[in-house]
Amino acid sequence: MMEKSLLIVESPTKVRTIKKYLGPEFEVKASLGHVKDLPPHLLGVDVEQAFKPEFQIISGKNKVLKDLKQAARKASHIYLAPDPDREGEAIAWHIAEELADKDKVFHRVLFHELSKRAILEALQKPEPLHEARFQSQLARRILDRLVGYQISPLLWQKVKKGLSAGRVQSVAVRLICDREREIQAFISREYWSITAFLNPGQPPAEAAAAASFEAKLVKIEGKAAKVHNQEQAEDLVARLSREAFRVVKIDRKERLRHPSAPFTTSQLQQEAFRKLRFPAKKTMFLAQRLYEGVEVGSDGLVGLITYMRTDSTRVSKEAVEAVRDHIQQRFGPDYLPARPLTFPNKKGAQDAHEAIRPTSMEYHPEAIASFLDKDLLALYRLIWNRFVASQMKPARIDQTAVDIAAGETLFRATGSVLTFPGFTVLYVAGKDTEDEENGEKSGRLPVLQNDQVLGLEKLLPKQHFTQPPPRYTEATLVKELEEKGIGRPSTYAAIISTIQDKEYVKKEKQLFHPTELGFLVTDLLVKNFPDILDVQFTANMENNLDLIEEGKLNWVEVLDKFYQPFAQTLARAKTDMEQIKGQGIATDIVCPQCRKPMTIRLGKNGPFLACSGYPGCRQTMNFTRDEKGRIQPEAAGQTEMGVEKTCGQCGKPMVVRKGRFGSFWACSGYPQCTETQPLAAGSGTDGEQPPAAPTGQVCPQCGSAMILKKNRFGNQFLACEKYPKCKTAKALETDMACPQPGCTGNLVSRVTKKGLRFHGCSRYPECNFLLWGKPVKQTCPQCQSPLMVEKSSKKEGTYLACIKKECGYRETKTDGES
């Protein structure tokens, strides 16, 4: 019997994809991500012994390792094929340590795409384990542990339990806080624009038939036009209406618009947000699925894209030839450049992997659309179109600029006409702002000649105000992080997710706003750990990690150079950092009860104002901040809707307070009067519920309509419209069938008395199936269970797990670095 070789990858999905292409001489197993890590509740780094890490088996991975060891006994050659990045190298290194045997030969194989050709080529050219790459990941892991596990407890002690600091996440929060303060400090200034509506004909009869066009005022007396107020604008319009408008210069030229390079990780995250509104985390999750393999009809599991963690724009020669053949056949020779296009990498880019591209031109998005869900297809189509467009001819644009003199002023009209669409027939990159999009819009100008006198139809003055810098979206934050060299593109999704989970920032209408907690923690960290929160310092550290991977720096020396000053700063901060817990932050707001200063305190339900005279004075109130960041205490007796309410017990005004279950009315005379009343969600009136939409269901007790309502935890449920006369209520069913064999019920969302959410069977108590976490209608690739469950942990972040404990399958991926 021929001895088998063992191939170890990270995910079971990859196992199924790779098995298709390998013969019986290979056994393929999955490690399910990392198998070893630093201990979850200890520092786990001996700073006195050259930063020796204390790795241990991750909880729940003993069974996985036992299975791998059993398979390794039958193999003398073990091929380690975790992802081709630093995290993957660390996984390979730890597996090799656990399976170490003098009779075993370990090989490192790098799969940059899961196609038959790439897999077989990688196995024919295995490499040794890359020690410098592993040391780079090790240095990053230890750096993050030294920062996070030593600053976070200090924040618990000084501010609030449960807070966290991170080497990269804290800098990302600082960027958002700094931008918000720029917006608050911004002073808007008035200015006016003047647009002339002109036409080539002079007499009114001709003017009506001629093609009119617009020209913008650009200069006054040879200087840039500056019109500050309405009086200046109206005066200028009055003078210009008596002037002749004459063409003084015509500038015509052809402009080429070149295609963008194929996607890097950060560009994919940015463009998926701009065009599809996908958060970075969702983009990376979907890209992982496309890379690992998707069921495509009779072809089975197919890896549709190359590795999705890369900052290189390089594309293989074979892929370029294939896409050029595709362009020739689909668009014709007019769209195919004479030679392949190449794109330079940005400075410091790692060139280990290709750009993100389709693995094969055989799988056109429309041909396999029926096999992909809506979001997966949208992302695959985006990657496909960008890649194909990157090898097409540029678009040609005829651009015309006409300068028009009128007295002491100069107007300019611009027009552009697309004469050859080139790559734009397939793909046009998205824009971050409306201004960028509007800048692309331009039309055709009529035929004009020098010294031609134009007909003036009207002059339109328009008021404007200068705008503050825009808040970050996911796309612009990723762009900023990359440009400043903070973190790596493969970590951006995790960073953005973490700073929201920790409630340092919130997202409103896709824009990031720092929370009160975010401002507070950032200010404390900037004051006490200036290096850690310094953008350039963080960028330099990322560069050092790259140099470790290249073998140009020693990882222990890098850590030592960082840790010595950091330890001194940490010691000073333990005594010098301001004590917020129990004392609050002083404000200039005066307590309405005792006239002492109010302080900002942090409670379970967020920040609030409390009297500094506590416990003698227990006055508290909610507050907001205006557009300049100034504290605005909530007025007594008003909600955000401006509705007044009086306490029925003592006659004092009621105020809106926030509790663990949301907002409610409370007497302003507290603690002498403890009267409270519910606040109707979405209203602000005296408890009247807003109109509920009909559900089409009928109450089984009285025959009235069932309507959607919310309980105190925010969960929706069905209730009879005749409440309180009829108190019939039932949980809202999902469209997911109960997975218990033989059960005909559906899963419903429920809440425990403590507010914990879970899903149970609608046929309870006949069926007692229960599931903690959010169910997802996705088949487990390992045991074919019809449902997965979405869970999250501090260590692993969000992941999908099989609902069957005995299966143990997880779709988890530590966002590593390329």
The catalytic site residues sit at 307
Q: To which H or E segment does residue 642 belong?
A: none
Distance CA 474, CA 512 (A): 8
Quickly count: other Cβ atoms within 10 Å of residue 705's Cβ: 15
Q: Is the peptide bond before 741 cis (omega within 30 degrees of 0)?
A: no
The residues facing 592 across adjacent strands are none
Given a contact cutoff of 8 angstroms between Cβ atoms, the answer to whether 347 and 543 are in contact is no
Confirm if 228 and 192 have CB atoms less than 8 A apart: yes
Parallel, antiparallel or unpaired: strands 654-659 and 662-667: antiparallel
User: Distances from the Cα of 444 to the Cαs of 172, 441, 599, 706, 812, in angstroms?
Assistant: 44, 11, 61, 58, 53
Q: What single string gives the DSSP state of each residue in 564-578?
A: HHHHHHHHHHHHHS-
Cβ distance 623 to 632 under 8 Å? Answer: yes
Q: Which amino acid is at 687?
A: G
Q: Is 391 left (phi over 0), alpha (psi -120 to 50) or beta?
A: alpha
Peptide bond into 724 cis (omega under 30): yes
Q: Give me the sign of the Cα torsion angle 759, 765, 767, 770.
A: positive
Cα gap 718→721, rounded to integer Å: 9
How is residue 509 annotated by DSSP? T
Q: Quote the CA–CA distance of 745 and 770 in Å, as a whole number.
A: 12
Q: Hey, is 104 helix, strand or coil?
A: coil
Q: Residue 681 is encoded by which pair of tokens?
A: 């969600």
Would you call 31 helix, strand, or coil by DSSP? coil
**Closest of 267, 167, 815 to residue 486, by C-alpha:** 167
Sheet holding 716-720, edge to edge: 694-698, 705-710, 716-720, 729-731
Burial of 451 (0-12, 13-18, 19+ CB in 10 A): exposed
**What region, left, alpha or beta, does residue 350 occupy, with left being phi > 0 and alpha being psi -120 to 50 degrees?**
beta
Judge whether 281 and 287 are in contact, CB under 8 Å: no
- The DSSP element (H or E) to which 708 belongs, if any, is strand 705-710
Count of residues for the chain? Answer: 818
DSSP state of 490: G
Distance CA 173, CA 505 (A): 7
Report the SS3 class of residue 386.
Answer: helix
Residue recorded with tokens 């069974």 = 63
- The alpha carbon dihedral of 638, 642, 647, 653 has a sign of positive
